[in-house]
A = this chain, B = another copy of it.
Amino acid sequence: MGKREKTKAENRQSILDAARIVFAELGYGETTVRDIIRRTGLASGTFYNYFKSKEEVFQALMDASALRMRPRIRAERIRAGTFEQFVSGTFKAYFDYLAQDEAMHRVMRRNSGSIRVRMDTPEVVAGFDEMRQDIERAISQGVLPNVDPDYLTASFVGIAFEVGDRMLARLPFDPAEAAEFSTKLFLGGVTALPLVAQGK
Interface centre among A119, A160, A190 (most CB of B within 10 A): A190
| Complexed CA–CA distance, A193 and B154 (Å) | 14
Q: Which of A41-49, A70-78, A98-106, A142-150 contacts B (4 or more CB under 8 A)?
A: A142-150
Q: How many residues of A contact B (CB 8 A)?
A: 54
A82 CB contacts on chain B under 8 angstroms: none
A171 contacts the other chain (CB 8 A) = no
A115 touches B158 (CB 8 A): no
Choose from B55, B87, B184 the contact partner of A115 (Cβ within 8 Å): B55
Choose from B122, B158, B190 the contact partner of A152 (Cβ within 8 Å): B190
A185 touches B186 (CB 8 A): yes
Residue ID in chain B nearest A154 by CB atoms: B162
A118 contacts the other chain (CB 8 A) = yes
A117 touches B116 (CB 8 A): no
A190 touches B190 (CB 8 A): no
CB distance from A155 to the nearest CB of B (A): 5
A196 touches B146 (CB 8 A): yes
A residues near B (Cβ < 8 Å) are: 28-29, 55, 58-59, 83, 87, 113-122, 125, 144-148, 150-152, 154-155, 157-163, 165-166, 178, 181-182, 184-196, 198
Choose from B113, B152, B192 the contact partner of A55 (Cβ within 8 Å): B113
B195 touches A182 (CB 8 A): no
Residue ID in chain B nearest A54 by CB atoms: B113
| Complexed CA–CA distance, A154 and B155 (Å) | 12
What are 19 A-to-B residue pairs whose CB atoms are below 8 Å? A55-B113, A115-B121, A118-B118, A144-B190, A145-B193, A148-B193, A151-B163, A151-B178, A154-B162, A154-B165, A154-B166, A155-B158, A155-B162, A155-B163, A155-B182, A157-B158, A184-B189, A187-B190, A188-B189
